[in-house]
Amino acid sequence: MNHLSDFRGDSKFTTWAYKFAINMALMTARRERRKGISVDQLFSTEDGASFEWGLEDTESQPDQSAVQSEIREIIQQVINHDLTDRQRRVLLMMVFHDIPMDEVARELDTNRNAIYKMLHDARRKLKQRLQAHGFEVGEILALFAAQR
């Protein structure tokens, strides 16, 4: 009810309310999943780059697995050595730990626009480094698509 004044009339009221309710539910679910884990705990390793890649694809071909490992290694190098501390924190919090942008902005004491810019710059550096090693975005997405 607090956001009722946000309704602009661009769509049916029920469509807007449904979308708003879904977004609120997703945001609440994300918070619940991380409940009891502080942001400081997420970055408790020495280099601050604590993240997991998820499950390895054990059914892929050996050559495909080798390429995936090489890509993971490049990404890890970029995260650990090419990004600024703030870019690293933003990328890890939003991409690897799925923390919403508003919470990241609050944690880093900045605004959404600054967070968006840091994330954009971090992704751009990752893309440039991967392309410098001969990998294209479409190729990488196809290579990891089987794991999803």
Q: Please state the length of the chain.
A: 148
- Considering its fold, how many domains does the chain have in total? 2
Q: Which residue, 20, 146, 19, 32, is CA-closest to 98?
A: 32
pTM, two decimal places: 0.62
Q: Is the domain of 81 the same as that of 116?
A: yes
Q: Is the domain of 81 the same as that of 134?
A: yes
Q: Is the domain of 76 the same as that of 126?
A: yes
pLDDT in tens, 73-130: 998 999 999 999 999 999 998 888 888 888 899 889 999 999 999 999 999 999 999 9
Q: Is the domain of 84 the same as that of 109?
A: yes
Angstrom distances, CA of residue 11 to CA of 6, 8, 18, 19, 110: 12, 8, 11, 11, 32
Q: Is the domain of 44 the same as that of 25?
A: no
Q: Is the domain of 88 the same as that of 16?
A: no
Average pLDDT over residues 20-26: 80
Q: Is the domain of 52 the same as that of 67?
A: yes
Instruction: Identify the domain containing residue 65 by its residue range.
Output: 39-145
Q: Give the CATH number, domain containing residue 128.
A: 1.10.10.10
Q: Is the domain of 50 the same as that of 93?
A: yes
Q: Is the domain of 120 the same as that of 134?
A: yes
pLDDT in tens, 39-68: 555 555 444 444 555 545 555 677 788 888
Q: Is the domain of 93 the same as that of 128?
A: yes
